Amino acid sequence: MKNTNQLESVLLSIALPGLSQVLNGKFLKGLLFISLKFLINIQSNFNEVIILSFRSYPISH
């Protein structure tokens, strides 16, 4: 792999884990990573915590 392809894969993985696997033809592995990311974020309310931290609301419920 060229350095530019490695950098591109790293940046895509940061943006959405599993996206670089999908673009490299490893569809099952990539879709598994993408679905796990969304499942974990939804179950842990992680996105809500991020939004609340930007709004300076206390995170404790």
List pLDDT tens digits, range 1-57: 455 588 888 888 888 888 888 888 899 999 999 999 888 877 877 777 777 778 776
Q: What domain count does the chain have?
A: 1
Give the range of the structural domain holding residue 8, as residue numbers without chain letter.
3-54
How many residues are recorded in the chain?
A: 61
Q: What is the pLDDT of residue 38?
A: 86
Give the pTM.
0.62
For residue 8, how many C-alpha atoms fall within 13 Å in the half-sphere facing its CB? 9
Q: Establish if 59 belongs to a structural domain.
A: no
Q: What single-letter DSSP state applies at residue 2?
A: -
DSSP state for residue 58 in the 8-state scheme: -
Tokens encoding 15: 């943006």
Q: Report helix, strand or coil for 56.
A: coil
Is 47 inside a domain boundary?
yes
In a domain, 23, yes or no: yes
